[in-house]
Structure 1
Amino acid sequence: MRDIGVAVNRYIEETTKDIVEFDGSKFISQSNYYNVESFIKKILNNNETNYFFLNKEPEIGLHDNLCTFLRLSVSLKSDDHYALCTKAKILELTSEFQAKLGWLVGNLYSRVGTDDYAPGTNLAADQYKSYVQDVMSEYIGMVPDKIFRDFKKVAKHTNNMNELDERMLDLIETKKKSRLSNIISVIGRVVQLDETQKEKLRNVLSQDGSVKRIIDP
């Protein structure tokens, strides 16, 4: 078994072209992030046919979220290995999860009903959402699609995360001001405005929800 991060990172590398690696972390666009989130949910519910997930249980010696790579086979000889494996065992699957593992390995055409990590089963909906986000935050960061290209450019010329945050905030604010100025300029073609009126209009528009959706990067 391996840490779930191995499966997550492999999926990201295989399915996502734009990955920004910065300060020891990986960042992807929001749309790609949702794809990774869907993949992780499938793993947590053991509906991803290539893997079998075990949630960490530190109190009994399972300290990390692990998953088995079902396509990776390991040959064992009962005479040589069974006693060693039995001696090293720290936990075992319940009967329903034994059935599900058998289904996954056997590639059957029906789903075994199990009490997985899904809303309304082991966890309430809000707890499940938080659980998924906690798992994801260990391996990947999300950047909104609208600013991902800028994020990628700025990251190339930035030394640390604090500096990156500051530069992105400055860039976003500059773009908002520029777009707001463009709107006021267009209005000025129809209605003549002096500087005082422009400033008042700027203040009003900057607080308007509909305008915010337009000028926000």
Structure 2
Amino acid sequence: MVLTQSCDLVRRQGNFKAPYITIAAAKPFRGTIGEFFDQKSKVVKGAEFSFHSSSLVGKAKQLIERHVNNTEPEFFFLPKSGHPNIPEDLVVFLRLSVALRKEHYDALAEAKIAELADVFQAKLGWLKGNIYSRVATPDFEDRGLNAAEIKSGFYEQYIPKDTTVWLSALQAELLRKIVNERRKEIERDLSSEEVLEIIESEIPEDIQIIANNIVERLKKNKLLEGDHEAEKKFARVISNEPSLKSLVKSLGG
């Protein structure tokens, strides 16, 4: 993307004002979001396995929203829907720029595929302004668009589901405990397949983990005595309590 102000690139008598033409690199947005998730992945000690915290979903949505509304510092978002010549959602790295001599003008002009609307050209008036000051541009809501639907589409596209395991803090703690115990039993690290099997069969939702922990604490303090079926029934009663379920949900569980 060309960052030099367009007014400095207007040819007058065969020449233009700018001594150099500054351009910045644009990369696929999918790669940027992918790096974000890679940096936030967590590992399970004693197993060839990594996962993402379920609390990361909210942060990922906020990051995507900042990008698509062009409020993320040092980046400029170019949506695929913005122009038919843009093959996919792109993000421009404003710090990753280079100044070219003016004799490259013709080559750049021939390579041009799209142009920003006037209001968004303010974002690229000059590189220093883009990085160190905020230029106000309208968000989806301000442009009269269906913001919720558009943002939901970006979330669906860039927040991985089928390729990622999402665990809450409680689920991750329980998984690590089970993996550690299983590892001692078999005297080796667990494979990804074995960990996935544990998640499928032994890692319940947060509300059930809390209910089971309450039962265990009551048993430990001899406040609950009964057979195994009675304990399971008591745990079900706790996990089905509406107020507790609402509380856990509000905390992201």
Same fold judged by TM-score > 0.5?
yes
**Structure 1 pair 196–71 and aligned structure 2 pair: CA distance change class (3 A):** closer
Structure-1 separation of matches of 2:213 and 2:117: 59
* Match of residue 200, structure 2, among 151, 169, 176: 169
Q: TM-score, normalised by structure 1?
A: 0.67
The answer to whether residue 105 in structure 2 is matched with residue 71 in structure 1 is no
Q: How far apart, CA to CA, are the structure 2 residues paired with 1:7 and 1:215?
A: 32
Deviation of 1:164 (Å): 5.0
Q: Among residues 190, 200, 203, which one is paired with 1:157 in the alignment?
A: 190
The alignment status of 1:43 with 2:67, answered yes or no, reads yes
Please state whether the residue corresponding to 1:74 is helix, strand or coil: strand
Q: 1:143 to 1:214 in 2, by over 3 A?
A: same
Q: Which runs of 5+ in 1 are unaligned?
A: none
**Alignment root-mean-square deviation, CA:** 4.3
Once the 2 structures are TM-superposed, how far is the Cα of residue 158 of structure 1 from its aligned partner?
3.5
Report deviation, 1:33.
Answer: 3.9
| Displacement after TM superposition at 1:63 (Å) | 1.8
Separation in 1, partners of 2:88, 2:50: 20
Cα distance change of structure 1 residues 143 and 95 upon mapping to structure 2, 3 Å threshold: same
Residues 40-85 of structure 1 show CA distances to partners (whole Å, capped at 9, x for unaligned) of: 2211111112111101149723121111110111221221x21112
Structure 1 pair 194–215 and aligned structure 2 pair: CA distance change class (3 A): farther
Q: 2: CA distance between counterparts of 1:58 and 1:88?
A: 18
For 2:213, which of 170, 175, 179 is the aligned residue? Answer: 179
Output aligned runs, 1:26-175, within 5 Å.
27-57=51-81, 60-79=84-103, 81-102=104-125, 105-106=128-129, 107=131, 109-114=133-138, 116=139, 118-119=140-141, 121=143, 123-138=145-160, 141=164, 142-150=166-174, 157-160=190-193, 164-173=195-204
Provide closer, same or farther for how the CA distance between residues 206 and 2 of structure 1 changes in structure 2, counting only shifts above 3 A.
closer
What is the total number of aligned residue pairs between the two structures?
205
| Distance change (3 Å), C-alpha of 1:20 and 1:95 | farther
d(CA) in 2 for partners of 1:203 and 1:13?
Answer: 37
Shift of 1:195: 7.5
In the alignment, residue 32 of structure 2 is paired with which amino acid? A
CA distance in 1, matches of 2:232, 2:157: 46
Structure 1 10/166 Cα, relative in aligned 2: closer, same or farther at 3 Å? closer
The CA distance in 1 between the partners of 2:228 and 2:36, in whole Å, is 54
The amino acid of 1:168's aligned partner reads I
Mark the CA change 1:112 to 1:177 in structure 2 (over 3 Å): closer, same or farther: closer
SS at match of 1:111: coil
Partner letter of residue 213 of structure 2?
R
Question: TM-score if structure 2 supplies the norm length?
Answer: 0.60
Q: Is the 8 A contact 2:28 2:88 kept in 1?
A: yes
Deviation at 1:92, TM superposition (A): 1.1
User: Within 1, Cα distance between the matches of 2:106 and 2:135?
Assistant: 32
